[in-house]
Structure 1
């Protein structure tokens, strides 16, 4: 191919990208993604993200040996361990609260979580997750994007790219941040990375104004606003054609159209007054401790009912579940905020039939060390920790994998974050090896360049 032909071809590809964005279709490079690669178990996802690192050895991973040797130093047989705050030589700290068998399955769950314990038979608890960084931002990025480096597309963006939304009046990927803010690593956790900007997460909140500046100005009719938007669109198309069909500009133009459609759809979706008193009470919205997270969990259910592909619901502000000083104090607060709403979400999805094809994920960016910090706290632990899956055909009432006898490292049927993502994509009907996007001469993937297997044991 001659140089002139190559440049013409490249310009044509850019044009296809921009116009596909304007028409609400998948971008160039994704034209082979006409939908799922195969019949999926899950059609939608609710991801409950516990920011800060919940302690697996105090919530979902009982360790009698840790209790037995509490107060003693880490045995030399465990070798050296990388920690964030040099706690490797500190005494071991036993589980803060008792674990008990729950449900008919007998899964052991901590007394920190009495409400989630009531839905134990719906949970597949993964006790062998592991990642690659002891720091918050890098681990938040890895759990959300597959890489410890900033700038990669989030899991939700990949789903939006691969599957789109089921409702053209709502975005495919919605994020419900903790109102306290302060996510370590920032909004890049739900960013589009090198994917077209159309696929980034849209942040929303409960109440009459789910998105700031979305409402139509007073005195402006829908017809007049539509006419103004059409005129603006014509000018923008001319502007776009003179700027090599820049995809960010195209995505901005598409966002105008989506915002116009959302003006009627979004306020109805977030109107919790449509729910019964029984439902509001189920989620704990009638209690100050659980009101915020309960509202956002209920909003997540309402959004996926209306065709949103994936909703992420964050718990934890700047520090969140980051229990360096006092696990009991920290986890008592955050478990009280989230335990009832999370259990309510599963019960609500189950009674409405939505749990059959909705995948619910619970995890943080890492767990906590078995060694103590400052006497009553725990440091970060990415080497072995817990999360759980429910719904979408996942067989509940069981555990998968294990950490070693004190909860320091994943030891049996280990699940790396990339393998976790591969499995989630598979459950959504997407082949993790085939879901790719051309970027800088490479076919980039959520799971990275290496071959990564789906964890069949979770399915």
Structure 2
């Protein structure tokens, strides 16, 4: 019954915003909270490369693969997803050094390579799982099963948000939801107000963001009447998490009616900025992901606490999951994401903003140094690479 009531009374509760326009009351689940220790990072931008990027084809070169290419793989390894050990498989891409730090990066990421001196690269990541769903849950929640709060939900719950008219946890969905689905962004046992709000690509990132009432003052009059019902229900029921979360979410939805159209209106962005993010690129998926990266910067400017970006849907490629056709799979995905990600880092730095958000680039696991079939790689949870930038991460370092 509460589940049915929550939606209705949540809509009713929009009116409480009209009664109290001041944001940041202690009663608001979105109000910013002061932590015990002041962190360097104020926000997180999580660039999620779903499917498993090959570390040996991106940020972790292995010269031995060139030497042993085509030979039986001699090292002893634990079972992989398909447990089919092929021959040693060298990277089809060359590597070169970038920046004063001399970071070695594959030719697949020339734009990101140009930002090498801002990156803190970690080549020693591991996962407990070699299957996509469990590995995605593990990276997002710390557990290999669904139902636990995601890290974005924890940040929203623990720190609140500095945004007054946007939620604390936003997912910019490029077209592909990570394996495991929306539970990767769920609130688990935390109040529902801390689950992710998902923005789609395109001109209407959220459905029904515009009020349906066409008569001037109709919405305000309706909310004024419903406010009495809202207060009556709260007086009778007292503190009920489900109801209060629904109320908070619908109050936020009311605020977002004005905030979201302003957020996606990029007329004020310069031509140089558009070009930096790849919005004028010939490849449509570069433009799609470039818009996501630009939205991430704008969300940080608004004070949103945690922003996750998912990969664009590229025809003929299954995310970064290159069990076969490595050259096309990784080539297409890198082409879509390389320029926009580097543009985001450069834009944040030029605006003096890179110190505030912690930018994290990661997949759920890596890929094997041996071949699966003739031209693919299997899942590899035993060693993969991520990188971070800004937000207190030490730049120009590789671990």
Common fold by TM > 0.5: yes
SS in 1 for 2:114: helix
Partner of 2:187: 192
Distance 2:202 2:273 in 1: 17
Q: 1:81-160 maps to which residues of 2 (within 5 A)?
A: 81-88=78-85, 90-160=86-156
Distance 2:334 2:30 in 1: 41
Check whether the contact 1:66–1:95 (CA below 8 A) recurs between aligned residues.
Answer: yes
Distance 1:182 1:173 in 2: 16
Check whether the contact 1:152–1:194 (CA below 8 A) recurs between aligned residues.
Answer: yes
Partner of 2:9: none
Partner of 2:36: 37
- Indicate which of 244, 248, 251 corresponds to 1:250: 244
Distance 2:312 2:260 in 1: 25
Partner of 1:398: 397
Distance 1:185 1:148 in 2: 10
SS in 2 for 1:108: strand
2:267 aligned with 1:280, yes or no?
A: no
Distance 2:331 2:357 in 1: 29
* 1:406-453, Cα deviation, whole Å (9 max, x unpaired): xxxxxxxxxxxxxxxxxxxxxxxxxxxxxxxxxxxxxxxxxxxxxxxx
Check whether the contact 2:30–2:168 (CA below 8 A) recurs between aligned residues.
Answer: no
2:353 aligned with 1:354, yes or no?
A: yes
2:167 aligned with 1:167, yes or no?
A: no
* 1:103-161, Cα deviation, whole Å (9 max, x unpaired): 11111000001111100010011000011101001111111111111000011000000
Unmatched runs of 5 consecutive residues or more in structure 1: 1-17, 401-459
Distance 1:334 1:251 in 2: 38
Partner of 1:217: 212
Check whether the contact 1:105–1:121 (CA below 8 A) recurs between aligned residues.
Answer: yes
Structure 1 residue 362, shift from structure 2 partner = 0.3
Partner of 2:198: 203
Distance 1:385 1:55 in 2: 8
Unmatched runs of 5 consecutive residues or more in structure 2: 1-12, 18-22
Structure 1 residue 28, shift from structure 2 partner = 11
Normalised by the length of structure 1, the TM-score is 0.77
Normalised by the length of structure 2, the TM-score is 0.88
1:366–1:237 CA distance, 2 compared to 1 (3 A): farther
For the aligned residues, what is the CA RMSD? 2.4
1:387–1:230 CA distance, 2 compared to 1 (3 A): farther
2:311 aligned with 1:315, yes or no?
A: yes
